[in-house]
Structure 1
């Protein structure tokens, strides 16, 4: 479907009930430092739960990831590529110039008032991972990136893009001479980036920061609304004031969420709560294997807290069949082995969470799971791997990218509320 180049009327028609806490750059810097800790805890997948975790996260917050930092990168990347396409750089220099322009972003962002989340803040322009590789998938999910190809293939096919556009110009010229209408679908097929993409600031990329203009924020919010209309991300972007909570199910506007969001969050929360115990069991077993009494004591304390706060009644009444209905076949393969592990752990937890650490079957379930996943690198069978263990593996509760999503929504809502014309 053709999407008009200008959507100002649509944006103005959208009633806004949004407000935002005016976080300064120091506050954002603290947030990003905390975020890096959560990312480490959540992204480590010692027990192979990532497929379930990511299924929930992709349904709730599509297009996001645990390594995205700031929202305006969603515009920096297409701005860079669009500028190179306009210059019709050939395939031989296209990727090289894109790489250079991304690296050239580092210093202006460091020089800005808001440095939190800068890619290359430590490494400078020698950073190993460029923002484009981090945001490429999300740009596709939000339909800002229209080319269906991987980043490398997009680079390799750029000459084909130019040829298709030149061919289209000739066709449209002939159509105009005959008085025929322009084929909008044909024109859209030549776009690699959304035609409504706001123009970059005149001094981009020499002077740049993370502050979205009102027009930019409207565009991104509109993309989320259209590309991901049923997601919680879309609901939060349009209807909710921001909230500094530790998990999405703690949001003060939870009561106004759609039923489908509440159901997803209920199962996501229970999965997080229950499987947190498995992660703690894993760490306790390793600490004992290392004869590290202090670590054993710390993890045991965390385990005791887990037992004390576990919503056992909910766990006992939890429909695991519904859990799989909500997570299987949503873009992630959840193997039968993963389902078996999760279901058995839920059974042990439901029967007696207090006795899990003395239940050999429950202990062996965790041990066998890690050994199966890691093979010869298992910490239970590889002494060197055990010695290299840092003492904490996956001990943070799953919050499904919420820490990152909060930062992205912060950037969005500050832009939405920025003074200026739509």
Structure 2
């Protein structure tokens, strides 16, 4: 698949296609019950520009430089091909120098099919590093020196740091470490363009809070505005409540798996029944979950599918009506989950399709939703370390 074909779609379609690549390696993100619209909407509010397949912050610096270098010689489709070669050259230099943590194409090398620009294009536009909503093949050619020409700065499609004369050779030394100047510039880009997000709030703090937490709601947000506290609270409660539905779904799949006398996965029904019991205890011990007013959540997503909203509301009302008991044996909740999975997946439903059931590996979207926090925390860590890189 060429880069041109990959990006010749709407921005929303691009992001969906990129994140689809990640679904096969991240079982916790699989959308069996059709709640991805809410999951992604909350993630976009919290961490705009971040996707599940991003790895390191410095790609937001390196990618524009590859296109700027290519634009010195080419335009249109030829520019895209030249930038393609530039990115592969950077990839090989990084790999040869041992900078492999977060390297896109670490295994495939120059044969990698999805390049960093395809993965970060939406972020480049979100943070206005790429000033216009445009495709790579629509970028103009620039005259020699324009990348560093102050007089031409306002007409450039890029809002970047000056293109170093040593690029791309210098990546062998610096790798993915941001310099102080790069980290400051990138922080400014995100804070200015995403001012109401959790991403921007964390970057605007004098000292970055401890990022070594499993979930974003475990962050120290004492200084955050009330609107952000409300958003994080709704995100946590949505994650907690719908985790129970995912566990019940996996319990039902596990039971069907055992009825077919399949044995590759050991005792899945017992495992998920136990996990559901633990989840129920966690839910009822949470100070806010049983009395959560969801109106604030829905006000953020007025265009949400009525069926999706009805499923979420019916699930939460159902577990609240059930009380502290586990939903594992609730006929109504089992029917709700079964109907929703079939509504969402049709003939590919694991609960009705024996072939799909045989492909089950013991977990399908069973992890608690994280809303791209693992990727966001890596980007934040990279910027924070760059800001503290006194030796740069």
**TM-score after normalising by structure 1:** 0.78
Report the equivalent of 2:296.
322
Deviation at 1:91? 2.5
Q: Choose from 239, 259, 263 the match for 2:226.
A: 259
Deviation at 1:198? 3.8
Q: Choose from 334, 337, 347 the match for 2:317.
A: 347
Deviation at 1:357? 1.7
Q: Distance in 1 between matches of 2:169 and 2:345?
A: 44
Report the equivalent of 1:212.
178
Q: Choose from 273, 298, 316 the match for 2:271.
A: 298
Deviation at 1:74? 0.7
The 5 A counterparts of 1:4-153 are 40-87=26-73, 89-149=74-134, 151=135
Report the equivalent of 2:209.
241
Q: Is the 8 A contact 2:32 2:364 kept in 1?
A: yes
Report the equivalent of 1:416.
387
Does residue 337 of structure 1 match 2:307?
yes
**TM-score after normalising by structure 2:** 0.84
Q: Distance in 2 between matches of 1:411 and 1:146?
A: 23
Q: Choose from 203, 209, 228 the match for 2:194.
A: 228
Q: Distance in 2 between matches of 1:79 and 1:64?
A: 20
Deviation at 1:197? 2.5
Count of equivalent residues: 354
RMSD: 2.4
Does residue 282 of structure 1 match 2:252?
no
Asked which structure has the greater CA Rg, the reply is 1
Deviation at 1:70? 0.4
- Structure 2, unmatched stretches of 5+, are 1-21
Do the aligned partners of residues 347 and 199 (structure 1) sit closer, same or farther apart at CA in structure 2, a change above 3 Å counting?
same
Q: Distance in 1 between matches of 2:112 and 2:325?
A: 47
Report the equivalent of 1:199.
163
Q: Is the 8 A contact 1:39 1:66 kept in 2?
A: no
**Higher relative contact order by CA 8 Å / sep ≥ 6: 1 or 2?**
1
Q: Distance in 2 between matches of 1:265 and 1:103?
A: 39
List per-residue Cα deviations over 1:311-352 (Å, max 9, x = no partner): 4552232111111013x05xxx52111000000000011122
Do the aligned partners of residues 138 and 39 (structure 1) sit closer, same or farther apart at CA in structure 2, a change above 3 Å counting?
farther
- Structure 1, unmatched stretches of 5+, are 1-35, 170-183
Deviation at 1:200? 3.6
Do the aligned partners of residues 249 and 39 (structure 1) sit closer, same or farther apart at CA in structure 2, a change above 3 Å counting?
farther
Moved more, 61-70 or 285-294: 285-294
List per-residue Cα deviations over 1:153-212 (Å, max 9, x = no partner): x31x24xx34xx79xx9xxxxxxxxxxxxxx9x973x32111x42434614156441011
Q: Is the 8 A contact 2:63 2:116 kept in 1?
A: yes
Q: Is the 8 A contact 2:276 2:326 kept in 1?
A: no
Deviation at 1:256? 2.0
Q: Choose from 238, 244, 250 the match for 1:271.
A: 238
Report the equivalent of 1:359.
330
Do the aligned partners of residues 294 and 347 (structure 1) sit closer, same or farther apart at CA in structure 2, a change above 3 Å counting?
same
Q: Is the 8 A contact 1:198 1:215 kept in 2?
A: no
SS in 2 for 1:66: coil
